[in-house]
Amino acid sequence: MKKAREILWAAVAEKDLVRIVNYIAEEDARAALKILNRIKAGAAKLDRSPERGRIVPELLEHGISKYREIVIKPWRLIYRIEGEKVYVLAVVDGRRNVEDVLLERLLG
């Protein structure tokens, strides 16, 4: 059995999650909690199979292949694998144009 990797959330990804949950909670606190649990559960599954996510297509077009994503509709959870650690870098609404957001955050 594979050793579980550690999942670490970047501060900006945590802020993304808080923003999402707070926005939804304005209308429906129960729905916000369900969304929080869905996103956290999706991220937690990366501990054993981080390669299951696809390479972020918008970044691959620029020759950048070290960032992956899983889709937890409608959000895209962007992460990077480094050794025995998985770094969650962003939670982005997939209905938006994410290319600009990702390039700004990941390249800097």
Going residue by residue through the chain, which has 108 residues, state the pLDDT in tens, using 9 for 90 and above: 678 999 999 999 999 999 999 999 999 999 999 999 999 999 999 999 999 999 999 889 889 999 999 999 999 999 999 999 999 999 998 887 777 776 676 676
Domain assignment of residue 57, given as a range:
6-107
Closest CA to 91 of 28, 21, 34: 21
Beta bridge partners of 7: 86
For residues 29-65, one letter each, b for 16 or more C-beta atoms within 10 angstroms of the residue's C-beta and e for the rest, the string is eeebeebbeebeebbeebbeebeebeebebbeeeeee
In a domain, 67, yes or no: yes
pLDDT at 1: 61
pLDDT score recorded for residue 101: 76
User: Is position 81 within any domain?
Assistant: yes
The CATH number of the domain holding residue 76 is 3.30.2310.20
- Domain membership of residue 89 (yes or no) is yes
pLDDT value, residue 98? 76
The pTM of the full predicted model, rounded to 2 decimals, is 0.89
Q: What local confidence, expressed as pLDDT, does residue 108 receive?
A: 62
The answer to whether position 1 is within a domain reads no
Q: In the chain, how many domains are there?
A: 1
Residue 65 within a domain: yes
Measured CA distances, 89 to 7, 25, 27 (Å): 11, 23, 27
**In this structure, is residue 10 part of a structural domain?**
yes
What's the pLDDT at 78? 94
Q: Does residue 56 form part of some domain?
A: yes
- Is 34 a member of any domain? yes
